[in-house]
């Protein structure tokens, strides 16, 4: 870990949000299209979701606890379904009420992220079917079991792709940082970079270097707020942290975080996410503390206690004091 990275991690706020990526045609505007923004920093603890979104939630949806999501106690299919349901509701609500398409709604979200103005439309992840439909299918189904062999056949004899693979749920983090590639404890290999439409900032594609781990992440900058880095994780690590972290990535993470993250779930984002959550119930009672799309994902009482030092101290927003800011 370079001093630069350290500086980023210790001196920048770390807003983030959860996203179940929808991957529609406007996927390139990830900061717009991704749903469930959970945007936090010291000045703006959390972007309040528009009330019209909250109203669009289906109270009859089968809810899970947020802890379940983070700690992987439920399978991704269930997770996807839950998010999809709420997502569909939101999107439908948006389109119907605001009379806007996905693009325009998404564009407003980006403004939201920058201005923290709550009363704007937001684009949302489509349901699983639409998400899968809209994506290409380079990997065969059951990609979690893939060992890289399927990738070798891409250029040569490609398998028929009538069935579309189930895309992994994604966890997107918004991070205010000048560093694009944020250390998260895992080792990543960059395998691609693409220019993003309507954005001067490219999108980078990373893959976990561990064997048999198909976790990927994309890193890009919000073009409307270049200080915000959008990191989208896809998949779930099936291994512990690498024993030899490149640089001193492990060193910059608090021991408690690493320990708990590794022990609870070998997937850093979820574990980190879990620890970042506040332990009070303020945001549960206050609709403005909801995640976009599904407030009931949260179960604050089940969240881990926040450590009081190290990285998380910097990461953790002052939930109690800055409940809402204009």
Partner DNA sequence: CGCCTTTGACCAGCGC
Partner DNA sequence: GCGCTGGTCAAAGGCG
The β-bridge partners of 192 are 205
> Does 309 help bind DNA (rule: CB under 7 A)?
no
Q: How far is the CB of 314 from DNA (least distance, A)?
A: 23
Q: Binding of DNA at residue 200 (CB under 7 A)?
A: no
Which of 77, 119, 209, 227 lies at the binding interface for DNA (CB under 7 A)?
209
Residue 231 φ then ψ, to 5°? -110, 120
| 221 binding DNA? (CB under 7 A) | no
Chain residues 61-120 in contact with DNA, contact rule CB under 7 A: none
For residue 242, which of 183, 163, 317 has the smallest C-alpha distance? 183
Q: Which of 246, 248, 301, 309 binds DNA (CB under 7 A)?
A: 246
Residue number with CB closer to DNA (59 or 136): 136
Asked if 205 is part of the footprint of DNA (rule: CB under 7 A), the reply reads yes
Question: According to the binding rule CB under 7 A, does residue 152 interact with DNA?
Answer: yes
Q: Which residues of 40-79 are buried (b: 16+ CB within 10 A; e: fewer)?
A: bbbebbbbbbbebbbebbeeebebbbbbbbbbbeeebeeb
Which CB sits closer to DNA, 193 or 301? 193
The dihedrals phi and psi of 282, each to the nearest 5 degrees, come to -55, -50
CB of 99 to DNA, least distance (A): 17
The reply to whether 192 sits near DNA by the rule CB under 7 A is yes
Q: Using the minimum distance from each CB to DNA, give the nearer residue, 194 or 308.
A: 194
Stretch that binds DNA, among 84-92, 133-141, 264-272, 313-321 (CB under 7 A): 133-141
Stretch that binds DNA, among 114-122, 192-200, 250-258, 269-277 (CB under 7 A): 192-200
Q: Which of 11, 96, 138, 308 binds DNA (CB under 7 A)?
A: 138
- Phi, psi for residue 132 in degrees, rounded to 5: -65, -40
Tell which one of 11, 142, 195, 281 touches DNA (CB under 7 A): 195
Residues near DNA (CB under 7 A): 23-25, 27-29, 133-139, 151-152, 154-156, 158, 161, 164, 181, 187-197, 203-207, 209, 216, 218, 246
């Amino acid at each position: 870990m370079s001093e630069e990275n350290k500086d980023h991690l210790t001196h920048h706020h770390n807003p983030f949000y959860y996203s179940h990526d929808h991957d529609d045609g406007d996927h390139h505007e990830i900061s717009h299209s991704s749903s469930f923004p959970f945007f936090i920093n010291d000045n703006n603890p959390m972007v309040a979701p528009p009330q019209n979104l909250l109203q669009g939630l289906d109270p009859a949806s089968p809810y899970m606890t947020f802890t379940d999501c983070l700690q992987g106690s439920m399978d991704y299919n269930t997770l996807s379904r839950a998010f999809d349901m709420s997502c569909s509701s939101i999107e439908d609500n948006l389109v119907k009420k605001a009379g806007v398409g996905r693009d325009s709604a998404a564009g407003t979200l980006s403004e939201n992220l920058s201005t923290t103005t709550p009363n704007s439309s937001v684009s949302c992840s489509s349901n699983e079917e639409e998400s899968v439909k809209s994506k290409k299918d380079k990997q065969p189904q059951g990609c979690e079991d893939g060992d890289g062999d399927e990738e070798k056949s891409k250029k040569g004899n490609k398998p028929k792709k009538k069935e579309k693979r189930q895309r992994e749920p994604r966890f997107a983090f918004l991070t205010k940082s000048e560093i694009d590639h944020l250390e998260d404890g895992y080792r990543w290999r960059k395998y691609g970079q693409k220019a993003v439409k309507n954005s001067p900032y490219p999108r980078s594609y990373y893959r976990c270097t561990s064997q048999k781990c198909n976790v990927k992440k994309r890193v890009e900058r919000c073009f409307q707020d270049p200080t915000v880095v959008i990191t989208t994780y896809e998949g779930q690590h099936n291994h512990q942290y690498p024993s030899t972290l490149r640089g001193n990535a492990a060193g910059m993470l608090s021991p408690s975080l690493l320990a708990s993250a590794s022990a609870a779930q070998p997937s850093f984002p979820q574990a980190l996410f879990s620890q970042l959550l506040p332990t009070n119930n303020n945001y549960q009672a206050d609709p403005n503390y909801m995640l976009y799309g599904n407030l009931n994902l949260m179960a604050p009482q089940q969240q881990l206690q926040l450590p009081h030092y190290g990285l998380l101290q910097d990461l953790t927003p002052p939930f109690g004091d800055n409940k809402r800011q204009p």
